[in-house]
Amino acid sequence: MKCLIEFMANFENALVMSVDFLHPRAHQGRKHPHNLIACCRPCNMLKGRHIFKTFEEAKAYVLARRDELRKSWESETSRSRGNAAKA
Ligand SMILES: [Zn+2]
């Protein structure tokens, strides 16, 4: 099974795979195959309760968020590595 948002299949993803509602259940999204997507929990979490018109829209949003978070994480870790080197 693949995370349809990143379109990746790896073991870590498989461990945290879940089924998500494209149109959130919290907003009366229905449990219909057209409204269900398989994605890993990190993507699911990032998607949150936002409402997207299409899967493509949801995917673009989640991937952009992941990228943002990765960049801030990378700059944080390189900063702490830099500090450690100075100390
Ligand atoms: Zn994912």
CATH of the domain at 23: 1.10.30
Q: What is the pLDDT of residue 56?
A: 93
30 lies in some domain: yes
Residue 37 vs residues 20, 30, 46, 59: alpha-carbon distances, Å: 5, 12, 14, 11
State the distance between the two ends of the chain, measured CA to CA, in whole angstroms: 45
The parent domain of residue 76 ranges over 11-86
pTM (predicted TM-score):
0.79
3 lies in some domain: no
Q: What is the pLDDT of residue 26?
A: 84
52 lies in some domain: yes
pLDDT tens-digit series, residues 23-52 = 888 888 899 988 999 999 999 999 988 889
How many domains does the structure of the chain reveal?
A: 1
User: 1: number of CA atoms within 13 Å, CB side?
Assistant: 13
CA 80 – ligand 1 centroid, Å: 27
44 lies in some domain: yes
Task: Give the 3-state secondary structure of residue 14.
Answer: helix
CA 12 – ligand 1 centroid, Å: 10
4 lies in some domain: no
6 lies in some domain: no
pLDDT of 84 higher than 80: no
CA 13 – ligand 1 centroid, Å: 7
CA 51 – ligand 1 centroid, Å: 18
H helices present in the chain, as ranges: 11-15, 41-47, 55-86
> 35 with 23: CB under 8 angstroms?
yes
